[in-house]
Amino acid sequence: MSASRVRGLTVWVPTSDPNQSEQLPLGNRRHTTVRTIVDRALFIVESRPGRVALRDLAIQIVLGRRNRGEPCLYPRNDPTFGDMDRFIDLFLNLMRSDAPEFYLTNTESEAMTRRYDWARPETTLNDFRPGNTGHMELNQKIITSMTDARSNGMYNKYMFQMIISAAHEFSHFVTGFLTGLARPITPPTVNVPGVPREAGYQWEVSALGGIVEFWSDPDNPNDINQPGIPYLFPDGRSESIGRAVSATYIKNLVAGGQALNIRVQPSSRSIPTTRGNLAAISNRMARLRVNASRAERRLARAGPGGPSTLERNRLQPGWVEYGYY
């Protein structure tokens, strides 16, 4: 499967000036890595289970917002959602043919969506353009670790992590697509036990069979410079039983292929466990990165440079972020 299927993709990185970013040229290793991540993530969402899960999520969002009297761009003259498949096709086709911007930043999570207020009173879903709806930030340290990976196994884990993270974030783009808003409230109709009102996790459970989380190696639980071990949990509850993901499944997903079953396959040798059991010997990689990122920001605030661009953006109206934690 060729990553060249994603068109119009631009990747931006920070410069020495905290107010500026520069665009990576085509052929740059990091640009190629991001293009591969986006292509594989879209492949998952475009698959039969991914598309059905996205359609069901979209219907839940529309119904939930209408029940609460909140604005939504989906046509009211289609109460049975007969056109929803067509609009999901429109969304996915445009995400491939006119991709939004991607920024490599020191985001606290693996990936984060920043949505914009893009709709006007006369706007319809047919006016959707990904770049006007928002952009996605990817953790630049993970991207660098991928390009410097010492083994195929380590590279595959990092790539799997970012593919799932980007696919998760496309669900947040769908919310912006349907509402036209930067800060829509996800309705209670979107609900996964342990993580209510979270569109990305709703999509993961429906499409992939559960929530994918990376936990640090128990032999080195505080090392942030590792991909970690991926686990699949049925929902977000601490007592839910999860299992480590099959390395063969990860290898096949990263390699791509139209016949691939996207539903995450646990390793046949993995021992069932809970988040509570893992927390006693390990750490969630996402939490390790959050703690490290916040420590770096505290140091930056103490220095002469002042607040970072990311912190300044958080103070601006019209910005909203959804991190994959």
Angstrom CA distances, 239 to 51, 135, 234, stand at 29, 35, 10
Burial of 191 (0-12, 13-18, 19+ CB in 10 A): middle
Residue whose token pair is 């520069």: 22
In a domain, 285, yes or no: no
Average pLDDT rounded to a whole number, residues 181-186 = 93
Q: Please write the tens of the pLDDT for every residue from 5-40.
A: 899 999 999 998 878 899 999 999 999 999 999 999
Element of type H or E holding 304: none
At residue 284, what are phi and psi to the nearest 5 degrees? -65, 130
Q: Please write the tens of the pLDDT for every residue from 202-224.
A: 999 999 999 999 999 999 999 88
pLDDT value of position 2: 44
In a domain, 281, yes or no: no
In a domain, 68, yes or no: yes
Residue 273 CB neighbour total at 10 angstroms: 17
Contact 174, 87 (CB under 8 A): no
Q: Rounded to an integer, what distance in angstroms lies between the CA atom of residue 324 and that of residue 200? A: 8
Q: What is the DSSP letter of 185?
A: P
Q: How many helices (H) and strands (E) does the chain have?
A: 11, 12
Report the domain count for the chain: 1
Three-class DSSP category at 314? helix
Beta strands 102-105; 21-23: pairing state: unpaired
pLDDT value of position 160: 97
In a domain, 97, yes or no: yes
In a domain, 261, yes or no: no
Nearest to 244 by CA among 194, 221, 287, 210: 210
Cα-to-chain-centroid distance, residue 48: 19
Taking the whole predicted model, whether its pTM rises above 0.75 is answered as: yes
Q: Rounded to an integer, what distance in angstroms lies between the CA atom of residue 34 and that of residue 81? A: 34
CA dihedral 181, 207, 69, 127 (to 10 degrees): 40
Q: Which domain holds residue 179?
A: 3-208+302-310
In a domain, 255, yes or no: no
Q: Please write the tens of the pLDDT for every residue from 56-90.
A: 999 999 999 999 999 999 999 999 999 999 999 99
In a domain, 218, yes or no: no
In a domain, 54, yes or no: yes
CA dihedral 232, 159, 208, 7 (to 10 degrees): 160
Beta-bridge mates of residue 272: none
